[in-house]
Structure 1
Amino acid sequence: MGFFAGRVTCLRFKVNGPAPRQFDDEHLARLSDHQAGRQRIASADGVETGWTAGEHILDTDFGFEKNIINDTLNFELRVDTEKLPGDLLRAYTAVELKALSKDNPSGFASARQKREAKEIARQRLEQEAKDGRYRKRKCVPVLWDRQTNEVLFGATSLTQVDRLTSLFEQTFGHELECVTAGRRAYQLAELHSLTRSVDDAAPSAFVPNASPDIAWIADDSSRDFIGNEFLLWLWYYTDIESDTLKLLDGSEVTLMLARTLNLECPRGQTGHETITHEGPTRLPEARRAIQSGKLPRKVGLTLVRNSDQYELTLHAETLGVGGAKLPPPDEGADARGKLDDRANQLRELVQTLDLLYDAFGQKRFSGAWQAELEGMQKWLKRGERNAA
């Protein structure tokens, strides 16, 4: 069910409000009040949203055993979209048009008849649609962790984010704030009194004549470009320094960039490229791309911390996690114990990514960054032969 089986994909959201003392009947009742299928009036774009309990697309039976696991509240966002089939609309229109124009002396349909035929066809389809035959339903898992007071949303695309945040606020009375690269950098910088440095941050010039603007960052106040710099720094660190990094809590993480790499020109001029390989950063074409000024937008990572291994894809600007493979649960545990263990593994994954990002932030927003940047600039200038 949702985050408790298979690979994990998610965006993170901060709940703007106090964490619940515990999840209880009140939370389940609120989910039930806003369950999928209860809404009778669709939004302006014809889309209906509601919560489901997670077992299947029609499950609205919320309960403790199913939806409250190890200090987390688990449910799903269902999005119902009415989409009238275009091919059937055209067929109905043709049938109606033939009937309307059969007695025309010219043998051709008039403009008025064409409009009338199309309107009749649409009304026929809308009448048929009332029984739900043309409704498309999609569920996306949601997990609210009481310990961190964060919500994980099972997607990396921002397509359904507005629907999630709107319905969550209607249901629980709290706004959600997406934890993007810039926002998380600021939150972590507060721990080290470095928030001023985040406010003052501008894109780093890794190569000569680097663009001062990032094409995919439309908002001048956004600091989400820090996520692109983070992924490039991981590449540099593992290539020059070590594959192991000491973290703030005293633990160590061993990391490898693997499987996939997506790079894009920050000027929006030379396009993007996606490289799929066991070690994509070792390929000459990947190095030529960053030497030309392209920045990573997505990279595959293998992380090992506290003897647990995680495989995932990390998106730069949103810090969204794609297809994360978590360590297997304890085989000796019962079914409930395995679910509890899975919740802990999710927390460990999020904590590992935070600690890794914080290790970069402590360099990026301190006096040590200038020396680190110069090291990265020299690294990028090296020829392929020296880099191998």
Structure 2
Amino acid sequence: MLRDGRFRRSRRIAVLWDLSGGCVYAAAAGAVRGRLMELFEKTFGVSLRQLTAGRLAERIVQSHGRGRDLEDMRPARFVHGPEGPGQWPDYPWVARQADSAVSHTRDHLGNEFLLWLWHAAADGGGVKTADGEVSLVVSQTIDLQCAYGVSGRDSLRSDAVAAMPEAMEGLRSGKVPRKLGLILESGGQYELALSAETLAVSAAKLPEVEEAETPRVLFEERIGLLRNLAKTLDALFASFLKVRTGSWDSQLRSIRKWIGQAEK
């Protein structure tokens, strides 16, 4: 109880600290996440930073000695802007450097990543990664927002959400995905919703554990499945970055053709 007589509200948060991977996974967001980070530093002397698409991109390319590949990288232009083919998307929800078209955080790469996954799912349903091929399907959820700050937002929900006319119409109007529902096949079938800028996972459904002799074994099996999901998502993002910093022009042409508004 607090001094003024009010009761302190408590809430249990599931946390997985992956020491080998240097990551903490937690079912928390907003103020709760901030409080968790504060408690972690006070308790363990460990300072946490929220993972974002831009930070993960920097970590991956630097680990391959290609840190300069992200410098001055402009956001991809998937369709013409409302002002014509010379207009670049500005991703109004992503911080930018002053007087620059370049994202300061590079978190727009998360939006491009989700669109790349969506295109891969439509183009055959598989992505080759360093750990093997991952099959994927877009399902249940697509949240879109205009990268030019003009045509607003769409939230689409359906089992066959990618087949909804509003989905492709949204892309043709300059929108990009901010959240995407996915079914992944990688050592089992995973269902989840993936947010673009934070790469946060929500509504995750793990493969069933068929045999577990004790609750402890079941717990450890599920931890292994969670780690495999995180590893799979990291591998997919690394594959995207390999294309984004390499043969991106041909991939961009393919995505534009798929959307139905290739630049001329």
TM-score by length of 2: 0.88
Please tell me the root mean square deviation across aligned C-alpha atoms, in Å: 2.0
Q: In 1, distance between residues paired with 2:261 and 2:79?
A: 12
Q: 1:271 aligns with which of 124, 127, 152?
A: 152
Q: Tell me the equivalent position of 2:79.
A: 207
Deviations 1:72-96 (A, max 9, x none): xxxxxxxxxx7xxxxxxxxxxxxxx
Q: Which amino acid aligns with 1:313?
A: A
Correspondence for 1:85: none
Q: In structure 1, what is the Cα distance between the partners aligned to 2:257 and 2:141?
A: 25
**Aligned partner of residue 79 in structure 2, secondary structure:** coil
SS in 1 for 2:14: strand
How far apart are the structure 2 equivalents of 1:278 and 1:197?
38
Which of 291, 294, 305 is the equivalent residue of 2:172?
A: 291
Q: 1:172 aligns with which of 18, 35, 44?
A: 44
Matched, 1:226 2:109: yes
1:357 paired residue among 232, 237, 248: 237
Give the corresponding residue for 1:7: none
List aligned pairs for 1:102-113, cutoff 5 A. Answer: none
Alignment partners' CA distance in 2, 1:142 and 1:205? 38
Q: How does 1:1-388 map to 2 (within 5 A)?
A: 127-129=4-6, 132=7, 135-155=8-28, 157-209=29-81, 210-220=87-97, 221-240=104-123, 242-249=124-131, 251-306=132-187, 308-366=188-246, 368-381=247-260
Structure number with larger C-alpha Rg: 1
**Offset of residue 161 of structure 1:** 2.7
Q: In structure 1, how many angstroms separate the alpha carbons of the residues matched to 2:254 and 2:245? A: 16
Structure 1 residue runs without a partner (length 5+): 1-36, 38-81, 83-125, 384-388
Q: Distance in 1 between matches of 2:42 and 2:167?
A: 46
Q: For residues 157-188 of structure 1, give each alpha carbon's deviation from its aligned partner in whole angstroms, at most 9, with x where no partner exists.
A: 33323222222111111111111111111112
> Cα distance, 1:193 vs. partner?
2.8
3-state SS of 2:37 partner: helix
| Cα distance in 1, alignment partners of residues 4 and 255 from structure 2 | 63
Please report how far the alpha carbon of residue 256 of structure 1 lies from its aligned counterpart in structure 2 after TM superposition: 0.2
Alpha-carbon distance change, 230 to 169 in structure 1, aligned in 2, over 3 angstroms: same
CA distance in 2, matches of 1:127, 1:151: 35
Match of 1:50 in 2: none
2:84 aligned residue = none
Q: Which amino acid aligns with 2:206?
A: L
Offset at 1:317?
Answer: 0.3
1:224-251 deviations in Å (ceiling 9; x for gaps): 10000011111112223x11222112x2
For residue 135 of structure 2, give the secondary structure of its aligned residue in structure 1.
strand
Relative to 1, partners in 2 of residues 1:138 and 1:326: Cα closer, same or farther, differing over 3 Å? same
State the partner residue of 1:5: none
Runs (4+) off by over 4 Å: none
Query: How big is each residue's C-alpha offset from its partner over 1:42-99, in whole Å with a ceiling of 9 and x where there is no partner?
Result: xxxxxxxxxxxxxxxxxxxxxxxxxxxxxxxxxxxxxxxx7xxxxxxxxxxxxxxxxx
CA distance 1:256–1:224, shift in 2 (3 Å): same
Contact map agreement 2:41 2:47 (CA 8 A) in 1: yes
Give the percent of matched residue pairs that are identical in Structure 1 and Structure 2. 37
| TM-score, structure 1 as length reference | 0.61
Aligned to 1:86: none
Structure 1 residues 204, 127: closer, same or farther in 2, change over 3 A?
A: closer
Does the 8 A contact of 1:207 with 1:291 survive in 2?
Answer: yes
Q: Distance in 1 between matches of 2:151 and 2:13?
A: 35
Matched position secondary structure for 2:31: coil
Deviations 1:12-71 (A, max 9, x none): xxxxxxxxxxxxxxxxxxxxxxxxx8xxxxxxxxxxxxxxxxxxxxxxxxxxxxxxxxxx
Measured in 1, the distance between the counterparts of 2:181 and 2:89 equals 27
Aligned-pair CA distance for 1:279: 1.8
SS at structure 1 position matched to 2:193: strand
Distance 1:160 1:269 in 2: 32
Give the counterpart letter for 1:324 in structure 2.
Answer: A
Q: Deviations over 1:124-179 (max 9, x none)?
A: xx7543xx2xx433332222112212101113x33323222222111111111111
Partners of 1:379 and 1:277 in 2: CA distance: 21
* Contact 1:330/1:338, CA 8 A, preserved across alignment: no
Instruction: Quote how far apart the aligned CAs of 1:331 are.
Output: 1.9
